[in-house]
Amino acid sequence: MLKFSANLGLLWAELPLPERIRAAKEAGFDAVELHFPYEESREALKAALAETGLPLLGINTRPGRAGEFGLSALPGRGAEARAAIDEAVEWAADLGGRAVHVMAGVPSHEMPVRRCREAFARLLAYAAGRCGEKGLTAVIEPINTRDVPGYFLSTSAIAERFLDMVASEHLKMQFDCYHAQIMEGDVTRRIERLMPKIGHIQVAAVPSRAEPDEGELSYERLLPAIEAAGYKGYIGAEYRPRGKVEAGLSWLAAYRASCR
């Protein structure tokens, strides 16, 4: 049976971050993942994680300035990008996390694509090395350009090329079914083919990005297909709840009931 993590960047957003961890435990999630914990008390996060016993799957590198959505594919920002990676690795290792999401960013129109590719490849190799030193995994996530116009890493096909280029066991793809459906479709077959390169999978409804119980993707069929394809990790619930999180968890209860 698949295990599920609560993405606390979107779920229980009205609560302080340590309280979101406790809420995830109370709601029956098996793990948590964070976006940007850097303004929080690390000791308070450690205490909440220890109290609940929930594994921390990963955190993101800082997004940079407003609208940048990451630094690693931005030419000329290498020093800042490396510092962001170092910071995320240090936080993840200290909190007992497992992965760091290296955010690519939104290059300006003046930035040559070739230089963006070169910058991203260099930073991914650096991130994989730093994560490897700490027993972590660096992950990259294709993000759709409807929600984030101009995001450099927008499809799994592009991500796969960088994974092959860097060729590190410490670098994987974070496959978000929501983004993949918007940009590419064919989600089931895509996951099956990419399984050896996938480090984490996330879900949300398309196109609403609400609970995964509506819209274009049939998660009652997709989740068993992911399990059948041999996925052993967690499914990240990274969606914007329609109301109170607890009121919208029937999708999770239905999946677990189907596995009994």
Span 98-118, pLDDT tens digits: 999 999 999 998 899 999 999
Encoding tokens for residue 163?
């994974």
pLDDT digits (tens, 9 = 90+) for 149-186: 999 999 999 999 999 999 999 999 999 999 999 999 99
pLDDT tens digits for 188-239? 999 999 999 999 999 999 999 999 999 999 999 999 999 999 999 999 999 9
Peptide bond into 207 cis (omega under 30): yes
**Nearest CA among 174, 146, 190 for reference residue 236:** 174
Instruction: Judge whether residue 260 has pLDDT over 90.
Output: no
Q: Does the active-site annotation cover 220?
A: no
Domains (range + CATH), the chain: 3-258 (3.20.20.150)
- Supply the pLDDT for residue 244: 98
What is the reported pTM?
0.97
User: By C-alpha distance, which of 172, 218, 169, 171 is closest to 194?
Assistant: 172
The tokens describing 34, both together, are 């964070």
pLDDT band at 74 (very low <50, low <70, confident <90, very high): very high
Q: Output the average pLDDT for the chain.
A: 97
From the CB of residue 158, how many other CB atoms can be counted at a distance below 10 Å? 17
Residue 40 annotated as catalytic: no
Select which of 19, 141, 169, 192 is catalytic. 141
- Out of 33, 68, 211, 238, which one is annotated catalytic? 238
